[in-house]
Amino acid sequence: MTPFSTGTSRPVALLPDQTCDCHMHVFDDQCPPVAGAVLTPPTATIDDYRKLQERLGTTRHVLVQPSTYGTDNSLMASVLCENRATTRGIAVVNDRVSDRELHALNDDGVVGIRFNQVQAGATSLTMLRSLAHRIAHFDWHVQLHLTPQQLIDHSDVLSSLSVPVVLDHYARLHHVPRIASAATDCLAKLMDSGRVWLKLSAPYLSSQAEHPPYSDLARSLAFLTQRFPERLVWGSDWPHATEKEKPDDAAMLDWLVEQLPTSRLRQSVFVSNATSLYRF
């Protein structure tokens, strides 16, 4: 059995070689959460995650600093240092971070910084421009977890940044149905710039459905894959810290593969795009 994942079967789909899971986390009970942390999951180790990799058939992955630890990236960095060949990292820093700390994170294998405005606290969007300017030196990108309303409200700022932008979790397009159309139009405009990427991760955070099939997302995904096939990446969101009842990762993956009808598109989403974005 795979920790923090429902079900035991493997996906029906056979993933391409060098498939990259572009969004996962690790947690450790021995690492104290930041004061006021919204999510405080139990220990979920990299060895636990390896069992998911074996089940799904993935080899590369991107370790994302969770909101639980704020700007203390030490747990993430320690895992990165042990797995440099197949792992990249996304850190969380605020505007007080020193140049020395940024250089150290770069040496550890970090390729971007995250702004989580859903489980907010460590950073604010007022820091976005200044930090984007500083990380451009390292050729990093900015990753954002936003509500659909925040996406709409801050789209002008996102489109003006000098670094690539990666939006988490299908940009939570259908989380608020009444603005789903406006959020989708905003996302399309941003992605038309050529500098914005989208993570096909945690469909349960965007769709109105808790389990596959995610019919609302399927409609949006048909449009996105046709228009932006070169700037979509996939992530598992393991260990699904927001979910009390863990999803079936194999079933979610099979659902996504069904939305990617050609081998060329699957190669792009699972391998080529991630290779480019995360510099494997």
- In DSSP notation, 231-272 reads GEEEE--BT-TT-SS---HHHHHHHHHHT--SHHHHHIIIII
**Residue 1 domain flag:** no
- What's the average pLDDT block by block, 10 residues per block, for the chain (280 residues)? 95 97 97 94 97 97 98 96 92 97 97 96 95 97 98 97 97 97 97 97 96 96 97 98 97 98 97 97
**Residue 73 domain flag:** yes
Q: Would the pTM of this model clear 0.95, i.e. be above it?
A: yes
Domain count, the chain: 1
What CATH number corresponds to the domain at position 151?
A: 3.20.20.140
**Residue 63 domain flag:** yes
Q: Which domain holds residue 86?
A: 20-277
**Residue 8 domain flag:** no
**Residue 99 domain flag:** yes
What tens digit of pLDDT does each residue of 17-57 get? 999 999 999 999 999 999 999 999 999 999 999 999 999 99
Strand partners, 118: none
What integer pLDDT is reported at residue 119 of this predicted model? 93
What integer pLDDT is reported at residue 40 of this predicted model? 95
What integer pLDDT is reported at residue 1 of this predicted model? 85
**Residue 98 domain flag:** yes
Residue 145: CB atoms within 10 A of its CB come to: 25
Question: What is the distance between the alpha carbons of residues 145 and 220, in angstroms, rounded to a whole number?
Answer: 18
**Residue 15 domain flag:** no
**Residue 218 domain flag:** yes
